[in-house]
């Protein structure tokens, strides 16, 4: 108590489906120590987005493949934030983290890590999720005669993705991405 911790802070962090509401849960992580975030960044992603920039430079890839790579986490490099030195060695920085924790039990140092539980993004059948990214590569300059209000971007860029998310569950950090569920069912009248 004298250092600002409660009994709950010293327990194993568990992430599991809420038994009462059947809501799928993610753990959003904030690191309390580490180097500063790069200028303009609101969240840390190990290696920033250089892996996605390299794929983009190498040639065309589908938006679906880029979404899969973007949403796959790099938590194995630091054992799900349990190995703080591993986290720092792989470029970890202070503040909000891009990669969430999924179902499991985690032993996190309460002096270094804070975790908040949030609902997972679930896109039901007959819906799509339009995603606005607050993190990612800076979009290319679209000014000029061809510029339109609300230009859409590839999934690895900041802005509104040109590819929507289809039916499924997605481990998306709501502090980094905002998803708007839109009905997409086709009605046929005879």
Instruction: For the chain, 190 residues long, give each residue's pLDDT as a single digit of tens.
Output: 666 777 777 788 999 987 787 889 999 999 999 999 988 899 999 988 898 889 888 888 899 999 999 988 999 999 999 999 999 999 999 999 999 999 999 999 988 999 999 999 999 999 999 999 999 998 876 556 666 666 789 999 999 999 999 999 999 999 999 999 999 977 778 7
| H helix or E strand, kind and range, residue 34 | none
How far apart are the C-alpha atoms of 24 and 16, rounded to whole Å? 7
| Residue 130 domain-assigned (yes or no) | yes
Residue 166: HSE in the Cβ half-sphere, 13 Å Cα cutoff: 5
Question: Quick check: is 190 in a domain?
Answer: no
* 2 belongs to a structural domain: no
**pLDDT at res. 149:** 62
Whole-number pLDDT of residue 146: 65
pTM score, two decimals?
Answer: 0.86
Query: What is the phi-psi region of residue 99: left when phi exceeds 0, alpha when psi lies from -120 to 50, beta otherwise?
Result: beta
Instruction: Strands of the chain (E only): list them.
Output: 13-15, 25-31, 95-96, 104-106, 113-119, 121-123, 127-133, 152-153, 159-161, 168-170, 177-183
Domain range for 114? 7-183
Report how many helices (DSSP H) and strands (DSSP E) the chain contains, helices first: 3, 11
Residue 3 burial (10 A CB sphere; 0-12, 13-18, 19+): exposed
Q: Is residue 67 one of the residues assigned to a domain? A: yes
| Distance from C-alpha of 96 to C-alpha of 44, rounded to nearest angstrom | 6
Structure confidence at residue 117 (pLDDT): 94
Q: Is residue 168 a part of any domain in this protein?
A: yes
Residue 188 located in a structural domain: no
Domain-embedded: residue 189? no
Residue 61 lies in a domain: yes
**What are 152's strand-pairing partners?**
160
Angle at 60 between CA 54 and CA 66, to 5 degrees: 65
Position 11 scores a pLDDT of 83
pLDDT at residue 141 in the model:
62
Work out how many domains the chain is built from and give that number: 1
């Amino acid at each position: 108590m004298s250092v600002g911790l409660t009994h709950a802070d010293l327990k194993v962090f568990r992430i599991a489906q809420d038994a009462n509401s059947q809501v799928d849960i993610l753990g959003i992580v904030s690191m309390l120590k580490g180097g500063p975030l790069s200028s303009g960044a609101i969240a840390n992603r190990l290696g920033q987005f250089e892996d996605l920039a390299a794929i983009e430079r190498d040639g065309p890839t589908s938006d679906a493949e880029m979404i899969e790579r973007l949403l796959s986490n790099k938590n194995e490099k630091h054992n799900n934030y349990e190995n703080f030195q591993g986290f720092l060695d792989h470029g970890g920085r202070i503040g909000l983290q891009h990669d969430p924790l999924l179902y499991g039990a985690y032993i996190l140092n309460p002096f270094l890590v804070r975790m908040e539980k949030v609902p997972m993004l679930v896109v039901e059948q007959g819906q799509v999720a339009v995603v606005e990214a607050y993190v990612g590569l800076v979009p290319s300059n679209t000014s000029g005669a061809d510029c339109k209000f609300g230009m859409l971007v590839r999934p690895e860029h900041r802005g509104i993705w040109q590819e929507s998310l289809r039916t499924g569950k997605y481990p998306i950090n709501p502090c980094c991405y905002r998803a708007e569920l839109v009905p997409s069912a086709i009605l046929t009248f005879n």
